[in-house]
A and B are shown apart, each in its own frame.
Chain A
Amino acid sequence: MAGEEKKLTDREKELAASFQAAKDNLRKCEKQVGMVMDLNKCIGCQLCSMACKTLWTNVEGREYMWWNKVNTMPGKGSPKDWEKMGGGYKVKFGGKVMEPILGKHPTRKEFGDMWKYNWNEVISNKAGEVHLQAKNPDGSNPDWAMNWDEDQGAGKYPNAFYFYLPRICNHCAYPACLDACPRNAIYKRENDGAVLIDQDRCKGYRFCLEACPYKVIYFNFVTDKSNKCIFCYPRLEQKVPNACARQCTARVRWVGYVEDPKSIIYKLVKVWKVALPLHAEYGTNPNVFYIPPLAPPRLDAEGKLDTTKPRIPREYLRFLFGPEVDAALGVMNTELEKVKSGGKSELMDILIARQWTHMFGPFDKDPATLERKPAQPGSFSRNDLTALNNEKNR
């Protein structure tokens, strides 16, 4: 925008190069963990959300946060209408140019604020006289929450539809949040690519909340810093899978290294190509992938199966998962048919997930084995960065 036409001084050019080098350094990781979620299996029970809540966000300042949430689709999600809030990139020349897109901050009410309940009034009055009511901290009546439009579908009976979309931070390969932070507080962990916000460096400027197109970063009003999903890295370090994945009732989630040909993530994403990133057009290269929902067939006016078109409009699934969704659903249907007619399918065997220990690659230790010691968040030296910024400084 403004300034682009201005001629840069030599020093400004030097600075630009050192800033770019600093960001490249923060984005670097040797290995990348990822997650696949099968939307055909999710029942919207929110156990994943509660597992995360009790583990990470039930402390002061984080109460209103849901690092894991499950939205009902097609819905407005959380924060409300996040898909219309901008951020991310316009990717040009095959990724050689990443042009950031202006984003908007969600408000705490759009996320769903920390409600207060009138417990005391209910208890101190006769049964039935006062009803339990939630209020926002400012006294107003809540009109949004983590999954406010729960089970609200689209379409008309008998062909209505909805499905659940669990969401966490995508631990992107090209994270918009990392690029946005002027403090270089956001980085990818070297050994697993988890995207973390260094709490010692974060000053609560909230550029990351603006830039993340998935709006999964929260602001902590108590510490004046930003917080987000940490991909349970302290558990991964002890080979225990993420709490949301391990707790999942329906065995919806797989965890593993994205680039390891032996991992299930690799098989689902790269070999079978049935797991797709959400809104890939945002340009951040997510490492969370979704198996799109097939949904039951439609019924015609006589109540007979109508297989001429899908129940969930394909256009909507293309909007979420890109044009690749057609091929992915094609493969799913073919493999399903194979099994229905008595055959075997490696893909269906993976998706049925008979044993939880087979779902998480090397992270197959029982949570009961966790040693609750303080974890080591960082794996690179911040001094390198400072040196980078300053080596050419006069």
Chain B
Amino acid sequence: MEQIVCKRVSKSKSELLDSTAAFWKSGAKLKVETAATPLANQPSPYIKGVYDESKIGAVKELKLATVHNNENIFFYFEWASPKPSRAIGDINVFPDGLGLLFPMGDIEKTQIKEMGSKEYPTNAWYWRPDFKEMPKNQISHGLSTSLYTEKTSVQSHSSWDNKTWCVVITRPLKISGQGEQAVELKAGGSIGIGFAVWEGSNGERGGIKAFSKEWRELVVEA
């Protein structure tokens, strides 16, 4: 399994929660290929019947970097977006989006393509430009079952420049004791991770998106 290493840095949250920071812009980044979600996995006969898989997944690649400061974990993403879609202006307008997915239990038994199952759920952090830098935390027990949780400790900072979205997503490593349903992360630990990205101008929303087809291993350095 491909590894993504999250190094420990001694920088503050305010330094890191900045999508325009030189630290992110000039640092090394990892490329993740993304591809259309398979139509066969669509729980909607309508979508299966009328959508064309070859036109789904406008974003083909994400660039990412990740660090932690022993308290919070930070993910930085960059992807080409010539036609940014920032908000739901009209009924036929869909905002762009970005998602991180974590298995909550055994990675071997958790299907990334199906967003988990009843026994092996997943936790997603879902960013959208219209979420006011407060990404949603959601739990999914398989296709068509995901629900936002009431509480979320996920935060973001985003900017669009040079036809590119730059998004930092952060969350405290530890969330135990706060009554929030989400994955626990810890320095020195590791967990599976996946990504999804929605191109609003291509009508992408819900299951119509591009995603990383395989789990990767996120190694959080001690």
Contact = CB atoms under 8 A, between A and B. Distances in A.
Interface of A: 1-3, 6, 8-9, 12, 15-16, 19-20, 22-23, 98-108, 111, 176, 179-184, 200-201, 203-207, 209-211, 219, 221, 224, 386-387, 389-390, 393-394
A312 B59 CA distance: 53
B145 A386 contact: yes
Contacts of B43: 19, 22, 182-184, 389
A101 B47 CA distance: 10
B50 A15 contact: no
Q: Is the interface of B mostly helix, strand, loop or mixed?
A: loop
A206 B205 CA distance: 9
Given A180-B44, A184-B43, A184-B144, 8 more contacts: A1-B49, A1-B51, A12-B40, A108-B91, A180-B47, A183-B43, A219-B91, A393-B118
B141 interface: yes
B162 interface: no
Contacts of B88: 204, 219, 221, 224
Interface stretch (B61-69, B109-117, B153-161, B188-196): B109-117
Which of A1, A102, A104, A176 counts the most B-chain CB atoms under 10 A from its CB? A1
A54 B188 CA distance: 59
Contact of B91 (A3, A20, A106, A389): A106
B10 interface: no
Nearest to B87: A221
B92 interface: yes
Given A390-B142, A394-B117, A207 B45 contact: no
Interface of B: 38-54, 88, 90-92, 94, 109, 111, 114, 117-119, 141-145, 147, 205-207
Nearest to A110: B91
Contacts of B207: 182
Contacts of B90: 107-108
A162 to B, nearest CB: 28
Contacts of A2: 39, 52-54
A203 B206 contact: yes
A76 B45 CA distance: 29
